[in-house]
Copies of this chain bind each other. A is one copy, B any other.
Amino acid sequence: FKEAWAGEADCRNCALRSSVLFAGLEEADFERLHKPIDQFVLQPGAMLYYAGQQGSQMFTIRSGLVKLSQLLPDGSQRIVRLMRSTDIIGLETLLDQPYEHDAVVMQRTEICALPVAVVRELQARNPALHTELLARWQRALKDADEWITQLSTGSAKQRVARLLLRLVKDEPSSECELFGREDMGAMLGITTETASRTVAEFKRQSLLLETSTNRFLLDVPNLRLIADL
């Protein structure tokens, strides 16, 4: 993905500064950032890293959507998490462990590449960053748990409904982009066809309204009924 280099980040004045890993850094910390942080802009399909690969950087997602998936023994893939703006992926490199997942871009995505060495150095001196790291891990764990309880439990209809609701959770407009049925199936542990059938049925029932190409407005209250029953 290195071809997608988009310049060096100005962390001090980062628009996402307050919600990002470096939130707690002070002027003195930035002094220590000798090498600049690189930014990239990635297109759908781009691969950030592979499972098993020994990496030396983590990534902050500035905008966009990245899927983390694992290969199953039968060759298919199971998507284990979706990562979005302000999330960090590849935390495991901080422990010198190889990446756990394949990380693939689903929508145009902007990222910052954080070299492990830099994070480690800052972490040693700045307890705020350290706490922030713990919090990141905890958030990831909570996400994983929700993935189990919400997206891997219940009937196909329930799962699809929950996934949709999750996609608009913090969109006041109740609108979202949908991804391919194959990915949807891989997230929910159902087949592509079942995913397709369910979405199609929701459309027919006007639970989903296509506002523009691949953008959908959701009937939140009724989807909630399906999700929770």
Interface residues of chain A, those whose CB is within 8 Å of chain B, are 70, 72-74, 78, 80, 91-92, 94-95, 97, 100-101, 124, 127, 130-131, 133-135, 137-138, 140-142, 144-145, 147-149, 152-154, 189, 227-229
Contact = CB atoms under 8 A, between A and B. Distances in A.
A74 B144 contact: no
A92 B139 CA distance: 10
Contacts of A124: 127
27 contacts: A70-B149, A72-B149, A72-B154, A73-B227, A74-B228, A74-B229, A78-B148, A78-B149, A78-B153, A91-B138, A95-B134, A95-B135, A95-B138, A100-B141, A100-B145, A124-B127, A130-B130, A134-B134, A137-B137, A137-B141, A141-B141, A144-B144, A147-B148, A148-B148, A152-B153, A152-B189, A154-B189
Given A73-B227, A130-B130, 6 more contacts: A78-B148, A80-B149, A92-B138, A134-B137, A144-B148, A147-B148
